[in-house]
Amino acid sequence: MKANCWYGKKDVQVVDVSEPEILNNRDAVIKITSSAICGSDLHLYNGFVPTMEKGDILGHEFMGEVVEVGSEVHNLKAGDRVVASFPISCGKCFFCQRELFSLCENSNPNAWMAQKLFGHSPAGIYGYTHMLGGFAGGQAEYARVPFADVGTVKIPDGLSDEQVLFLSDIFPTGYMAAENCNIQPGDTIAVWGCGPVGQFAMKSAYLLGAERVIGIDRFPYRLLIAREKVGAEVLNYEECDVYDSLMEMTGGLGPDACIDAVGMEAHVPGVIGAYDRVKQLLMLESDRPHAFRQAIMACRKGGTVSVPGVYGGFDDKIPLGSLMNKGLTVKTGQTHVQRYFAPLLERIQNDDIDPSFVITHRLSLEEAPRGYEMFLNKDDDCLKVVLKP
Amino acid sequence: MEIPRDLAIERRQRSGAQFSEPVERRGDWNDGSLTNVARSAWDQQQLGVLIDGNEKTVARGLGWFSIGLGLAEVLAPRTLERFLGIKHHGFLLRVMGLREIASGVGILTGRRPSGWLWARAGGAVIDIAGLGMALNSDTAKPANIGLACAAVAGITVLDIRYAQELSRNNDAALSARTIEVRNSIQINCSPAAVYKFWRNFQNLPRFMSNVESVDTLSDNRSHWCVRGPAGKRIEWDAEITEEEENRLIAWHSLPGAQVENYGSVRFETAPGGRGTYVKVHLQYSPPAGIFGARVAKLFGREPQQQIHEDLHHLKQIMETGEIITTKGQPAGRARGTSWKYDQAVRRQVDSRSEYQPSAA
């Protein structure tokens, strides 16, 4: 089959590989009908996340048709149309039983590696480094889904791929980011990053009752989507001072909750930006955490900073003094996707939201390398690329 | 038969008697926080054996030399450039300086300075290559570059010599000690279920990657086959020394074992519906000689990590019925697993087990 594989920094290629098989009893193999490139895939593409190996199949947002199930999978059968969750979760451990699926203890065969870096290992993730399991990903014609009985949601007839594909990651990720803000009536939510996750976070904030939502980015086309399709107010951080503008907009109070939907590769103009870039290049700092710094400084006293953006290691100049003295709450984590399958599928069925609004490009699987390049460079106003095998 | 030390302590604990802790224990390891104390004691012991006398002094000297040279490269690259007669290599010199400082700090603070000394020696080879290239520059001052080369080469010889010394001590230290490993894991099922699984010793090879087989000889005796160094098999008979249903199993090897060992595993009810804490304590005394050193290495390289992975596999079997694997998956290279990163996957026992987790 064809699969999109990682071969190094800014080097992905579609090559022929063998087809996946059932390896564990709770596996399923699915024939992929739609797959997507995630913003977090760009961190791999840029070579910022360690423990990738040449030939790793990328992709953790995918859906398709079940072709085979293992002996212990009783709730799926060949022919079912399913979306897979990007974290792989056993459903039986302490964390899964508390619906903290992305913290599953049993799905990362290389847990020791992540444990060395993080203290404890999160769940395994498809196509996302060997530290998180080294699982083959879903930018391919077929994929193996471990713990398929827990990690898939069946899609009823009448919904298109594009409406439900993002249940795999970015819709629940944006939704959980908003849910973590504990939104109360009248709240103002500021969202750093108007990429796909940021758009879903903004949309979800409205769904959860926010009064005002403010999107922050530097690309006019992304701000336009936030304004036109989500209904958010927008700030271009290259044209204004974010802190001053947010204070101006909220009478000096600050947003009740701030969402960092940027993560480790924040862009900042000026000295701080150069500082982070140099430190990251010299491996003295693993991330460029500027959105997080700004979110802490701007957040209302006693408010919440919610972090769906991906970070990898050890970061500098985090304003802990502000965090402590302002009594802020930080909530974060890889998304517990399985927890959101049913409620968000219902939202889609009720027409509360049509997640396909973020899609700007539809490519064949063979064109994946072009998709990565386009998404990275923001060519042709690229916001979200869907790959069709 | 001498009673293993930890068992003696366990008995005293259970009988409720207060006891003064032996120096090398410094506390009850059942309290999770104290594993760190045990580990740091272990580190100190290693440091004491590894860095001794002359080697220690020279290693420290080399460490400080590295830091000094590194600082000069980082802070005054222009001066160095002028001395060598090269231009526009300030950034490179700074990078080389940072590397020097890193190896210096590593030598001075590292647990195993020999590794850092080898790294220093490797770095010096790069330095010499760089100096050689500098000779091509129009403005080069060959005499000064020659001087710098000689200095670097001299230091490199010292590096290699003392790295060898320290590495040798390292091997000697391994064969001389008893290897002791403690680890624990939380498993989301009842102590009775884990106890039952463990007590059936035929199950042990399914999660202990070094163990080939355990045959039951009688109710409390068993025969162990363990994968030894260079494919050599190590075997011994073991006897259960203490057992409490659903709570504790302790065993030791019988006289005549190639590798004298004893171990215990406790199954404690974890609070608040957290299932079971499984706490393992193992001790091996490898024989003297080359073979012994190899055995020590086999168990001793990362014994803590080895038993940790084994327990993680036990947890997976108990909670999900099998061990998750990526062996056999597709990839855009020869093998589905990564030779570099997926060691745990390579080592793991057969993932297709027949055990079904009980409803408990």
Per residue in A42-88, pLDDT (tens digit) is 999 999 899 999 999 999 999 999 999 999 999 999 999 999 999 99
Mean pLDDT of B267-280: 96
Any CB–CB contact under 8 A between A116 and chain B? Answer: no
Q: Which residue of B has its CA nearest to A149?
A: B320
- CB contacts under 8 A, A 118-157 vs B, are 124, 130-131, 133-136, 140, 144, 146-147
CA B258 to chain A, closest CA, distance in angstroms equals 30
Mean pLDDT of B94-103: 83
Any CB–CB contact under 8 A between B310 and chain A? Answer: no
pLDDT for B177:
65
Any CB–CB contact under 8 A between A13 and chain B? Answer: yes
A366 contacts: CB under 8 Å, gap ≥ 6: A2, A14
Task: Report yes or no: A233 and A210 within 8 Å, Cβ to Cβ.
Answer: no
pLDDT for B233:
82
Closest CB to B337 among A97, A106, A134: A134
B281 phi and psi angles, rounded to 5 deg: -135, 120
Closest CB to A93 among B188, B321, B327: B188
B324/A24 touch (CB, cutoff 8 Å), yes or no: yes
Residue B348 has what DSSP assignment?
P
3-state SS record for chain A = CEEEEEEECCEEEEEECCCCCCCCCCCEEEEEEEEEECHHHHHHHCCCCCCCCCCEECCCEEEEEEEEECCCCCCCCCCCEEEECCEECCCCCHHHHCCCHHHCCCCCCCHHHHHHHHCCCCCEEECCCCCCCCECCCCECEEEECCCCCCEEECCCCCCHHHHHHHHCHHHHHHHHHHCCCCCCCCEEEEECCCHHHHHHHHHHHHCCCCEEEEEECCHHHHHHHHHHHCCEEEECCCCCHHHHHHHHCCCCCCCEEEECCCCECCCCCHHHHHHHHHHHCCCCCCECHHHHHHHHHCCCCCEEEECCCCCCCCCCCCHHHHHHCCCEEEECCCCHHHHHHHHHHHHHCCCCCHHHHCCEEEEHHHHHHHHHHHHHCHHHCCCEEEEC
**How far is the C-alpha of B218 from the C-alpha of B216, rounded, in Å?**
6
A182 contacts: CB under 8 Å, gap ≥ 6: A257, A304
Judge whether residue A244 has pLDDT over 80. Answer: yes
Chain B residues in contact with A20 (beta carbon < 8 A): 329-330
Q: Which residue of B has its CA nearest to A7?
A: B332
Closest Cα to residue A270, out of A246, A315, A238?
A238
Closest CB to B326 among A13, A72, A135: A135
Task: Report yes or no: A190 and A216 within 8 Å, Cβ to Cβ.
Answer: yes
Task: Report yes or no: A77 and A30 within 8 Å, Cβ to Cβ.
Answer: no
Closest CB to B312 among A23, A88, A111: A111
Give the CA angle between residues B311, B317, B321 to the nearest 5°. Answer: 170
Chain A residues in contact with B91 (beta carbon < 8 A): none
Predicted TM-score (pTM) of the model is 0.76
Chain B residues in contact with A1 (beta carbon < 8 A): 330
Sheet holding B211-216, edge to edge: B179-187, B276-285, B260-269, B248-253, B233-244, B221-227, B211-216
Chain B residues in contact with A282 (beta carbon < 8 A): 98
Q: Which residue of B has its CA nearest to A135?
A: B326
SS3 B343: helix
- The count of C-alpha atoms lying within 13 angstroms of the C-alpha of B135, restricted to the half-sphere facing its C-beta, is 13
Q: If residue B42 lies in a helix (H) or strand (E), which one and from where to where?
A: helix B34-50
Q: Which residue of B has its CA nearest to A56?
A: B331
Residue B261 has what DSSP assignment?
E
Cα separation values, B23 from B27, B37, B39, B282, Å = 9, 11, 14, 19
Any CB–CB contact under 8 A between A377 and chain B? Answer: no
B157 contacts: CB under 8 Å, gap ≥ 6: none
B341/A146 touch (CB, cutoff 8 Å), yes or no: no
Any CB–CB contact under 8 A between B321 and chain A? Answer: yes
**How far is the C-alpha of A66 from the C-alpha of A86, rounded, in Å?**
17
pLDDT for B61:
80
Which residue spans within B156-206 are E strands per DSSP?
179-187
pLDDT for B77:
80
Any CB–CB contact under 8 A between B337 and chain A? Answer: yes
Q: How far apart are the first and last CA of chain B?
A: 38
**How far is the C-alpha of B252 from the C-alpha of B254, rounded, in Å?**
6
Judge whether residue B53 has pLDDT over 70. Answer: no
Chain A residues in contact with B331 (beta carbon < 8 A): 5, 17, 55-57, 136
Confidence grade of residue B110 (pLDDT, cut at 50, 70, 90)? low
Q: Which residue of A has its CA nearest to B333?
A: A55
Q: Residue B343 is which amino acid? A: Q
Mean pLDDT of A204-217: 98
**How far is the C-alpha of A276 from the C-alpha of A269, rounded, in Å?**
11
Any CB–CB contact under 8 A between A8 and chain B? Answer: no
**How far is the C-alpha of B241 from the C-alpha of B243, rounded, in Å?**
7
Task: Report yes or no: B102 and B71 within 8 Å, Cβ to Cβ.
Answer: no
Determine how many CB atoms are found less than 10 A away from the CB of residue A366. Answer: 13
pLDDT for B123:
74
pLDDT for B292:
63
B304-352 per-position pLDDT tens digit? 788 899 999 999 999 999 999 999 999 999 888 888 888 767 665 433 3
Query: Which is more confident, B293 or A6?
Result: A6
Closest CB to A112 among B275, B308, B351: B308
ipTM of the complex: 0.92
A109/B331 touch (CB, cutoff 8 Å), yes or no: no
B113 contacts: CB under 8 Å, gap ≥ 6: B50, B51, B59, B63, B106, B107, B166
Confidence grade of residue B153 (pLDDT, cut at 50, 70, 90)? confident
